[in-house]
Structure 1
Amino acid sequence: MSFIPNPLITDIIRRIGSQGFRYLGPFIAAGPWFKEIVYSREVLLDVDLDEFMFNTRLGREESIYRPFLLRCVAEGHKTARYIESLRRLTQVGPSVEALEMLGEVAYSDLYTLFAFAVMLLCCGSYEQGMIVNRTFMARFETLQDAIDIADVVESQVRFIGPGGRRVFSGYIHYLEYPICYFDHNTDLTVCQHCLVFNYANRFHDMC
């Protein structure tokens, strides 16, 4: 394949990968030359990892796709860094490194923004968590739209495999509660003021 300029073949593979990470599999299997191109920064930064977002099982430690995900993490891929930071926080527990990784990509989309708000609360950063939460809630016209995003993030955490070891115990605390907090304690009564508290408590119990 030496007659094809390396920048050209890299761009072709990058475009293919941007349609879905699974399309890169045949190139990895084709041999060292193609594998090196697939693992180049240009390709890894642009690869489509949406499947990881909505099936976070792919990011588990035992997943056969995890080595590829970690390569994307190392190159700074936003989705990869989100999935890995979420896994570390919910399985290992609070850490500055994991929170910073999540914070770097928090404003990429609504899922990462809500996850950042909840993780800040779970890790004891109440003031910053509430600031991020207000930014999140300001993006919606209806409460149901916000709940839909929150439910997806909860599914992401659940599927990535939280250990149920109460990793947030001793960290999570609220400096103050919204006036509705103790009345709105079910999915049917939650409101915009207590939504983030509701999910922080769920994650605390789940993880």
Structure 2
Amino acid sequence: MDNLVDDAAIEIYRRVAETSFTMLAPLLLVAKKQSKLALSDAVLSSLSLHEFFNNPELANEGFAFRSFFLKCVAAKNPVANYLESLRIVAQHGDVSHAIAMLYSAVPESDYISFARGMFLIVA
């Protein structure tokens, strides 16, 4: 029964976070277990990170959202993988690592295809 409740909670958190990752903030304050469920890979892999498109510096090292962003990268969030691959190329020049990240991004998007194509040209 507990797993069913956890699965339902994860689905609720996933749907709440579809519009913006900032919608997770109140859910993280409820309880330790609920916070853990809200930060599960199932939620992080599908939540919206569009705020990072408008403010990509939020993903940079030293910023407050960096640890949260890295959790999204580890959960294979396609937007997080895309933005992290751009950051890696721009700041470190490691094109091969960025290409590998983009190949792991699912579902595929036009942004990911374009970036991967550009990186393959310069690799």
Give the TM interval when normalised to the shorter protein: 0.7 to 0.9
1:115 aligns with 2:108: no
Residue type of the partner of 1:20? S
* CA distance in 2 between partners of 1:92 and 1:26 (Å): 35
- Pair 1:46 & 2:46 matched: yes
Question: What is aligned with 2:84?
Answer: 84
> Is it true that 1:5 corresponds to 2:5 in the alignment?
yes
TM-score (norm 2): 0.84
**Equivalent pair of 1:81/1:105 in contact (CA under 8 Å):** yes
Distance 1:40 1:106 in 2: 17
Q: CA deviation at 1:17?
A: 0.9
Matched letter for residue 108 of structure 1: E
Alignment partner, residue 34 of structure 1: 34
Cα distance in 1 for residues equivalent to 2:77 and 2:99: 16
- How far does residue 94 in structure 1 lie from its aligned partner after superposition? 2.3
Tell me by how many angstroms 1:116 deviates: 2.0
Distance 2:17 2:109 in 1: 21
Q: Secondary structure at the match of 1:72?
A: helix
Q: Which runs of 4+ in 1 moved over 3 A?
A: 103-107
Match of 2:23 in 1: 23
Q: Percent identity?
A: 30
1:68 match: 68
**Mapping of 1:178-197 within 5 angstroms?**
none
Query: Where is the helix percentage greater, Structure 1 or Structure 2?
Result: 2
Q: Give the distance between the partners of 1:56 and 1:77, measured in 2 at CA.
A: 15
Gaps of 5+ in 1: 124-207
Summarize deviations over 1:128-150 as a string: whole Å, max 9, x none: xxxxxxxxxxxxxxxxxxxxxxx
Q: How many residues are treated as equivalent by the alignment?
A: 121
Separation (CA, whole Å) in 1 of partners of 2:9 and 2:106: 33
Provide the TM-score with structure 1 as the length reference: 0.52
**Does the CA contact (< 8 Å) of 2:76 and 2:106 recur in 1?**
no
